[in-house]
Each structure stands twice: as C-alpha cells, then as structure tokens.
C-alpha cells in the first residue's frame, strides 16, 4: 500500500476515534501513533489531513448536511461521515490532489471500512459536492511532492 493510501487510512482512523469520543481526540497525537503505528512518510502525509480536517470541520459538516437531504447528520454512520469529511477536505483544501483522486480514494475507504452500501452513499454525496468546485477535477492545482507512492 502506498504512503498516501496508508495516510488516508490513518486520518480516517484518527477521526473515527475522535468522533466516537464526542469530538475529542487524544491530548497528544503521539498517543494515536502508538495505537496505530505508521512509517514516518505515512505520518507526514496523514498529519496535515488530520489537522486540516479538524480546522475545517464546521464547513465540511455543513457541506455534508447540505447534500444529505434525506439523512439526519447524526444518523450517518461514523465511518461514512468521516470518509465524507476526508474526501471533502481534500477536494476543497488540498489543491495538490485532484478531486477525482479524492473521490476514488474515499470510495475505496468506504468499501474497506464501511457497510455494504457505504461506497455508493459516499460516491453519491461526493459526486454532488464536486459540482461546487471551481478547479479542474482531474489535475492538481499545485505540484505534487516528488515522493512517489
């Protein structure tokens, strides 16, 4: 598994943990890495995802609520909710990642960690959210770092 996929998994796991603890994460991120060990290059990719999702959580959750018309936000499974948060964070706040990559990665995370229909739900919501973007869907805006997956 590449460092980016592993980093996304770690970010999802962190936010799942945080969600289940009422929005509180560990006092120190080191606690999380002790429970979910990862290589340094994975941590370097995951850390900005974790911090960015926390920093933009209100805007991200508002966007999810806007597109989940038939679902109460609190009734969306914790896995699906956090996969959506990660996908939306990347789409709007990570110009170095093409939005279609963020959507595809979110679908794969939903398949891996969610229920049987999670990937369909995530795909449907993110497909609608992508229409709010004003940047190219298949290209990064900023150059990617030089380390390959």
Closest CA to 138 of 93, 106, 91, 78: 91
Which top CATH class is 3-132? mainly alpha
Domain boundaries, the chain: 3-132
Over residues 9-26, the pLDDT tens digits come to: 999 999 998 888 777 777
Q: What is residue 148's DSSP assignment?
A: -
Alpha helix (H) ranges present in 21-77?
29-35, 40-55, 57-67
pLDDT at 71: 77
Mean pLDDT over each residue of the chain, to the nearest integer? 89
Q: What is the pTM of this model?
A: 0.88
Is residue 74 helix, strand or coil?
helix
At residue 71, the 3 state secondary structure works out as coil
- The mean per-residue pLDDT over the stretch 120-146 comes to 83
């Amino acid at each position: 598994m590449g460092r980016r996929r592993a980093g996304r998994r770690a970010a999802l796991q962190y936010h799942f943990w945080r969600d289940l603890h009422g929005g509180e994460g560990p006092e120190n991120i080191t606690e999380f890495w002790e429970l979910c060990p990862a290589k340094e290059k994975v941590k370097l990719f995951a850390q900005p995802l974790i911090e960015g999702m926390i920093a933009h959580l209100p805007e991200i959750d508002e966007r999810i609520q806007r597109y989940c018309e038939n679902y109460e936000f609190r009734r969306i499974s914790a896995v699906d909710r956090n996969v959506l948060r990660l996908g939306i964070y990347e789409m709007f706040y990570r110009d170095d990642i093409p939005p279609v990559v963020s959507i595809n990665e979110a679908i794969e995370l939903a398949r891996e960690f969610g229920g049987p229909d999670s990937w369909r739900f995530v795909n449907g919501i993110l497909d609608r959210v992508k229409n709010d973007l004003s940047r190219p869907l298949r290209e990064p805006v900023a150059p990617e770092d030089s380390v390959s997956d």
